[in-house]
Structure 1
C-alpha cells in the first residue's frame, strides 16, 4: 500500500486534516489543483491569528509547514476517480496517475453559483461577497446591499445593518410578508422590490430596470453551492440538502461518510463555510481518519 491516506483537496480543510495525520506519522498524499474557493478575495478575515492576510499566503505557509513532515507527499493534480479494491482505494488523477491508500479524505470544497445578473461575477470577492463576518467590517459602515437569491436572503438582510445602512433588493425572488416587513423596518432596512438589471461602477452600484442607480460600497449575495468534485457521488456517498445546496453527509464526530473508509470535511461537508470552520473541520476529520486506522477493520 502506497499511502495510509489520500486527501483530495489541499486548501484549508485538507491541509488542516493532513497536519493531524502527519503528526501521527501517517503516510499522507495530498492531491490538489490549486482552485481555492476564496481565490478571488484579496484578504481573509475572521480566522484567529491570520486576520487580514492574503488567502494565498495563508495556504502557502500552511502547505510549507505540512510538507516539512517526512511522511507527506504532494501532487499538483486533480483527483477525478476513485474505486475500492481489496486493500483500500485507488485514486486516479487528471494527469493519468494512479495512487493507492487505505483511506480517502475528500476536502474538495464547493463551487459558488451566482445569480445571472450582469456585473456580479467580475466583482465576486472584491465588492460582492457572501459572508458579513468575513468582509462587512472593511466596508467602514458605508452603504450595503443585499441581493435576494432565496427566502434565506431575509436572514442576510436582517444581519447586515450592524455593518452599515442596508438596502434589500428582493429582485422578484420572493415577497416578504407583513411580519418580515416589520422586522426589516425595525432593523432600518430599505426594501427595494424592483428587479435588478445589472451591477456596475468601481464598487457595486445597483442598476434597476426602471433606470434608477443605487450606489453601495458592497453587495452581499447568498449563492447556491455545489460540491466541486464528483468523487463523493461516484463512490456512492450520501448527501444532505442544505439551505444553499447539497453537501456530503458525514458522521458529526469522525467525519466518515456513508461509505466505510471514505471521509469528508470542509465546505463540501457542511451547509455553511468559512476559513476558520474549514480548519476546525479538518482537525476533526484528520483525527477521525487516524482513529479509524487503529480501531476499525474496514475497508
Structure 2
C-alpha cells in the first residue's frame, strides 16, 4: 500500500466510487477509504437507479468496488478516516488504526447520519416500513395505507406527493399545522389530517399494523414516511475548515457546481453535500467531482 496519492476519496458508496472511477480512468493514483457504513445500509433494495433497479445497495457497491479495483492506479482500504489536515498544499488523512495517507486533493463523500424522532417502533423499522423517499420506496407500498409523520413544515410536501401511491394520512405531531391554503391543498389531494400525536408504532417488526395515538385510538397504517434530521457522518469537513449551508433536514457541505468546497483542493459529493438525497444524484455528483478534481490537478496549482 502506497502512502502518497494524487487524490484521496473518503467514502466508498455511490458518490465516492463514481468519483474514484473517473480518476482511475484518468490514470491518477487514487485511494478510496471506506468505513462500510453507508446511509442506505438499512434498505434491502435500491429503486429508480438507472440499470440497477431492484438490486440491493450492497450488491451495487460491491460490484462497483470490484470494477474499480481492476484499475492499477486505484487502491481501496476498508477503515474509518479519523482526522485530516492540510500541510504545505497537501492533505493528510489518518485512519483510526494510525495509518496516514497523503494526497494533493481530497474528495469528501462521507455521507450523513439520519436521526429519527424519538418514537417507539421507528428505528427498528427504518428502511423497511418506515421510509423517507417516495421515489425510492413508494412503488413497493403502492395502494396500501400510507402515513406521514410530520417533523417540520416540509412534511406537507411529502404528504402532497404520497397520494399518487396510496391513501395518505398526515400526522401533524404538533410539529406542523397547515394554514387555510395548505389545508385546501391537502383536501384536494384527499389527504386526511390527524392532529392527535402518534405515541407508538404497532405490529410485528419490520411490519406496521397501526399507529397508537395519544387519545388512545389506533389508526391502521401499512407504511410510514418520515423526514429525518441529518447530521454529518464524519467530522472531516469541519476539521478541514469547509463551510456549510443549512439544508431542510440538516447542514450540508457548501459546494459549487463542480463540487469544489470553500477550501481549495477539497471537493465534496453525495448526501453530505446536497439536500437532494438519491442514488442517481449521488453517483452523478461523484462523476462531476472526479472530473473536476482531475482538471484541477492539470489547470490549477
Report the TM-score when normalising by structure 1: 0.97
Question: C-alpha separation between the residues in 2 aligned to 1:89 and 1:148?
Answer: 42
Give the match for residue 198 of structure 2: 196
In the alignment, structure 1 residue 33 sits paired with structure 2 residue 35: yes
Matches within 5 A, 1:114-193: 114-193=116-195
Give the match for residue 209 of structure 1: 214
Question: C-alpha separation between the residues in 1 aligned to 2:122 and 2:136?
Answer: 18
Give the match for residue 284 of structure 1: 288
In structure 2, which of residues 25, 47, 50 is the aligned counterpart of residue 48 of structure 1?
50
Q: CA deviation at 1:215?
A: 1.6
Aligned partner of residue 7 in structure 2, secondary structure: strand
Question: C-alpha separation between the residues in 1 aligned to 2:120 and 2:89?
Answer: 50
Q: CA deviation at 1:140?
A: 2.9
Give the match for residue 107 of structure 1: 109
Give the match for residue 16 of structure 1: 18
Which segment is superposed worse, 205-214 or 20-29?
205-214
In structure 2, which of residues 216, 233, 237 is the aligned counterpart of residue 232 of structure 1?
237
Aligned partner of residue 251 in structure 1, secondary structure: coil
Q: CA deviation at 1:272?
A: 1.9
List gaps (5 residues or longer) in structure 2.
none
Please give the per-residue CA displacement for 1:66-103, whole angstroms capped at 9, x wherever unaligned. Answer: 11101011111111111111251111011111001110
Aligned partner of residue 103 in structure 1, secondary structure: strand
Please give the per-residue CA displacement for 1:205-235, whole angstroms capped at 9, x wherever unaligned. Answer: 2110112111212100011111111000111
Aligned partner of residue 282 in structure 1, secondary structure: helix
Question: C-alpha separation between the residues in 2 aligned to 1:178 and 1:117?
Answer: 29
Quote the RMSD (CA, aligned, Å).
0.9
Runs of 4+ in 1 over 4 A off after TM superposition: none
Question: C-alpha separation between the residues in 1 aligned to 2:89 and 2:232?
Answer: 27
Matches within 5 A, 1:27-106: 27-106=29-108
In the alignment, structure 1 residue 220 sits paired with structure 2 residue 222: no
Aligned partner of residue 39 in structure 1, secondary structure: helix
In the alignment, structure 1 residue 273 sits paired with structure 2 residue 266: no
Please give the per-residue CA displacement for 1:22-75, whole angstroms capped at 9, x wherever unaligned. Answer: 000000000011001010111110101100111110010010001110101111
Question: C-alpha separation between the residues in 1 aligned to 2:175 and 2:211?
Answer: 16
Aligned partner of residue 92 in structure 1, secondary structure: strand
In the alignment, structure 1 residue 250 sits paired with structure 2 residue 252: no
Question: C-alpha separation between the residues in 1 aligned to 2:81 and 2:239?
Answer: 12
Question: C-alpha separation between the residues in 1 aligned to 2:50 and 2:222?
Answer: 26
